[in-house]
Structure 1
Amino acid sequence: MMFPSQNCAEGLRGALRSLVRPVAVVTAAHAGRNHAMAATAFCEVSMDPPSMLVCINRLNATHLAVSEGADVCLNLLAEDQREISRRCGGGVVPEERFEVGDWVLGPGGPPRLADACASILLRPGRIVDHATHAVVIGEVVDVALRDDRRPLGFHDGAYLFPLAGAALNLVAQSALLGEAGSMTDGFLMLDVMRAFYWFDEGLQSALRARGWEAVSRSQSMAFANIALGVRRPIDLARNLGITRQGVSKMLQEMVDREWIVIEPDPTDGRASVVAFSDKSQQLRADALEILSRIDQELGERLGRKTVDALRATLGRDWGPPPEISALPSAQ
């Protein structure tokens, strides 16, 4: 369904959040210091000569290095490198960004991540300043490629986790083979994912029917985490699989809508905590009432005892996630 957007910036953010995008860390070395920033705004420009572009915020220290002639390295992250993205997206101070990951550091070039999906060395040829960012167009002068790594994906403000990615691939492959119906057998994770989406779609649909502005799935999960007592932005970022920069943007949108407030952390003067605003009381009351009615409807459809047993099972302590060993090598 198409609908007009009254705010182009908000509409663009929503459109881009719907895309699944790869994640990279852009690095540069200048004046004896190494710089790193997480990025999703990059793409190829030409194959003759090979060239790419990357967009860099002009307030970022990496921009200063590039503007003064430094080469840059575009490190395409693998699915198990979310922590590197979080650190380089603002999760830690710049001096600590290279403490995680197999970084190749040395004179004569920008830092390179040895176990990335690929590391692409760019020699900037043109820099175009536009509003808050600079578009850096560079010639590709070297590529280090790993064919045994799967890329890290980003969608709707969150990372695509490896297990979720594997599940989605299973579903896609089964659909291709005409066996999608069989995916409900034997994969509890897919059943839980499907159930979550079912609940969330029902909640969002009912909220819209009552006149509330659209709530993204990430914001819905943020509400749930805050209700469970997770109040520090860095902890929200970790639970939602979002960079600190990404969660800051999402929380600011929620502040602008007067759903939450951000206050100083009473236990740590350097940190902040998130709390529900007074104006969010009606939204939360409506959400709780809707969820209660969804539970009631589900009980009528499946039987109250069945739903109660399901809740009891999901509420039990399952212990830590199992450590599944690699399959033995074929003899």
Structure 2
Amino acid sequence: MSKKDPLAFEVFNEIGIINQLTSASFTAVLPRGMTIAQFTVLNHFVRLGHEAQSPAQLAGAFQITRPTMTSTLARMVKAGLVAIKPDPGDGRGKLVSVTAEGRKMREICLQRLAEPLADADAALSRETLAALLPLLQDVRAKLDRLRDRPPE
């Protein structure tokens, strides 16, 4: 890194590299046919407790295009992980919900992730992880607010 690089760039570059490293190790242990994108959709529903969301809401939450989300959801529907039904409040809209099979798959994925997570626990002290978590949560919350800010 050049000394002229902005500090925020250096921090986000490190986070990006960490994301690449963890994505590769996670992908290696996920069940056959399961992708990180599919797992994150399942985790999103379970973590936030959403019953149903539109494909557009999901695309916005993940900061991806609607066609990309539609493609991911189509594979998930085929695998029985999510269901897509008409939105009763909007005749043209659709609502996506996680199925019991999707919840079960999330749990299977978490079990499969135990080894890479244990490796991370062994490489990083609990103190380091405990210190990082609130800092990262604060960064995420602030970036969420920036993302949701209307354009000027």
Relative to the length of structure 1, the TM-score reads 0.36
2:81 maps to 1:259: yes
Retained in 2: the 8 A contact 1:298–1:307? no
Q: Percent identity?
A: 19
What does residue 65 of structure 2 align with? 243
What does residue 142 of structure 2 align with? 318
CA distance in 1, matches of 2:114, 2:133: 14
Residue type matched to 2:146 in 1? P
Retained in 2: the 8 A contact 1:299–1:306? no
Once the 2 structures are TM-superposed, how far is the Cα of residue 282 of structure 1 from its aligned partner?
Answer: 3.2
CA distance in 2, matches of 1:188, 1:275: 35
Residue-pair matches, total: 137
Higher share of residues assigned strand: 1
- Quick one: which of 40, 43, 66 aligns to 1:224? 43
Once the 2 structures are TM-superposed, how far is the Cα of residue 292 of structure 1 from its aligned partner?
Answer: 4.7
Q: Equivalences for 1:97-116 in 2 at 5 Å?
A: none
Retained in 1: the 8 A contact 2:82–2:102? yes
Retained in 1: the 8 A contact 2:39–2:106? no
- Quick one: which of 284, 289, 297 aligns to 2:111? 289
Q: 1:312 to 1:191 in 2, by over 3 A?
A: same
Residue type matched to 2:45 in 1? I
Question: Aligned Cα RMSD in Å?
Answer: 3.1
Q: 1:318 to 1:220 in 2, by over 3 A?
A: same
What does residue 215 of structure 1 align with? 34
CA distance in 2, matches of 1:206, 1:243: 27
What SS does the corresponding residue of 1:299 show, helix, strand or coil? Answer: helix
- Quick one: which of 4, 11, 21 aligns to 1:198? 21
CA shift digits 1:125-154 (9 cap, x unpaired): xxxxxxxxxxxxxxxxxxxxxxxxxxxxxx
CA shift digits 1:254-301 (9 cap, x unpaired): 1111121113335x2432221222223432112222345533332221
Once the 2 structures are TM-superposed, how far is the Cα of residue 187 of structure 1 from its aligned partner?
Answer: 0.7
CA distance in 2, matches of 1:242, 1:298: 28
Retained in 2: the 8 A contact 1:226–1:274? no
Q: Equivalences for 1:1-331 in 2 at 5 Å?
A: 187-207=10-30, 212-227=31-46, 228=48, 229=50, 231-265=53-87, 268-270=89-91, 271-316=93-138, 317-318=141-142, 320-321=145-146
Q: Which runs of 5+ in 1 are unaligned?
A: 1-173, 180-185, 324-331
Residue type matched to 1:321 in 2? L
What SS does the corresponding residue of 2:16 show, helix, strand or coil? Answer: helix
CA shift digits 1:95-121 (9 cap, x unpaired): xxxxxxxxxxxxxxxxxxxxxxxxxxx
Q: 1:318 to 1:244 in 2, by over 3 A?
A: closer
CA distance in 2, matches of 1:201, 1:193: 12
